[in-house]
Amino acid sequence: MYTDKVMDHFSNPRNVGEIDNADGVGEVGNASCGDIMKIFLKVEDNIIKDVKFKTFGCGAAIATSSMVTEMAIGKTIDEALILTNEAVAEALDGLPPAKMHCSNLAADALHEAIKDYKEQHS
């Protein structure tokens, strides 16, 4: 059902946790649908220095969260803002069609965290 990359990120998720005094925090999803993703950011000089996540959800939800943290670290805010859910799914060699809609929210969570960062630092 899942690709090897999805299973790798699901079984060894990168950057799990929270950041104390994060520069931005974003949360998307709801319990009703079974997926909630929360992203924490550390930003220095407009560059994302660290990202951590916490996710309630299925294998795809955890794998996409893990992948988006890897993809975002080192990027500028503007570069991270153009990261899409599709790009995250692609980086995982794809997701099953049924998962594309409900579990592929990781980039949205990242964008929410960036929005929060911008609001706090404008």
Partner 1 sequence: MKQIYMDNNATTRVKPEVLDAMLPFFKEQFGNPSSVHWAGRMVSGAVEKARQQVADLINCSPAEVVFLSCGSEGDNYAIKGTADALKEKGNHIITTAVEHPAVLETCEHLEKNGYDVTYLKVDRDGMLDLQALEDAITDKTILLSVMWANNETGNLFPIEEIGKIAKKYKVRFHTDAVQAVGKIPVDVQACNVDMAVISGHKIGAPKGVGAMYIRRGTRLTRFMHGGHQERNRRAGTHNVAGIVGLGVACELAKKNLESEYEYVRKLRDKLEKGILETVPDVKLNGHPNPDLRLPNTLNVSFNYIEGESLLLYFDMKGIAASSGSACTSGSLEPSHVMGAMCVDVVLAHSSTRFSLGADNTEEDIDYVLQELPPIVQRLREMSPLYNRDDETPLTCDECRVIRRV
The total of other beta-carbon atoms located within 10 Å of residue 21's CB is: 6
State the amino acid at position 67 in one-letter form: M
Q: Are 28 and 109 in contact (CB under 8 A)?
A: yes
Nearer to partner 1, 40 or 117 (CB): 40
Helix (H, G, I), strand (E, B) or coil at 68: helix
Query: Cα separation of 66 and 83, whole Å?
Result: 14
Nearer to partner 1, 65 or 83 (CB): 65
Output the smallest distance, CB 105 to partner 1, in A. Answer: 12
Output the smallest distance, CB 76 to partner 1, in A. Answer: 26
Asked if 58 is an active-site residue, the reply is no
State the amino acid at position 94 in one-letter form: G
Residues that bind partner 1 (CB under 8 A): 10-11, 13, 16, 27, 30-38, 54-62, 98-99, 102-103
The active-site residue, picked from 1, 18, 33, 34, is 33
Active-site residue set: 33, 102
